[in-house]
Amino acid sequence: MKAAPTLDGRIRIDLEDAMDLVVLRAIIADAHARDDDLASRLSAGTDPDLAEDWDDYVLPELRVSFNSQLETIVGALAEVTPGDTLFIGREDAEAWFGGLNQARLALEDRYGLAGADEDAQDGEMKSAGIRSHFYQMLQGMLLHFLMSGGNP
């Protein structure tokens, strides 16, 4: 797989073989592989004076937003096959970034990668660490080349 920014302001990802598509589809699987839902986790510890309203009004909106990010990625990957080139434009950059973030948050929650000794990691954890690192690299490209060079 090759990923690079293009002159017309997109990220180009060349899918060289079937494994590249498997790697990208793992974003969705990783994001879904969590015991709780992200919206609930982010809202945990809300002040008791606000908790009821938060659960009724904010949580559903967060869930819709997070699902929408993953649907954007699912939709983009549904249209490509090995050998194709995938383009991510500015209009989808935040959705891709958010979906990748969901995957990295889920991997962190599941494996505790940030504080882990790499030498002591088993195969499954190593694989999770490699995926998380790959997602982070894609996020860096999205942030710096598409999301206005770090300026909103």
Residues that bind other proteins (CB under 8 A): 38-39, 42-43, 45-47, 49-50, 58, 61-62, 65-66, 97-98, 101-102, 104-105, 108, 113-115, 136, 139-140, 143-144, 147, 150-152
CB of 152 to other proteins, least distance (A): 3
Which of 45, 123 has the CB closer to other proteins?
45
Give the residue with the Cβ less far from other proteins, 76 or 139.
139
- Residue among 115 and 123 whose Cβ is closer to other proteins: 115
Is the Cβ of residue 77 or residue 116 nearer to other proteins in the bound state? 116
CA distance 145 to 46: 35
Convert the chain into a string of H (helix), E (strand) and C (coil): CEEEECCCCCEEEECCCHHHHHHHHHHHHHHHCCCCCHHHHHHCCCCHHHHHHHHHHHHHHHHHHHHHHHHHHHHHHHCCCCCCEEEECHHHHHHHHHHHHHHHHHHHHHHCHHHCCHHHCCHHHHHHHHHHHHHHHHHHHHHHHHCHHHCC
Nearest approach, Cβ of 77 to other proteins (angstroms)? 21
Nearest approach, Cβ of residue 58 and other proteins (Å): 5
Least distance to other proteins, CB of residue 102, Å: 7
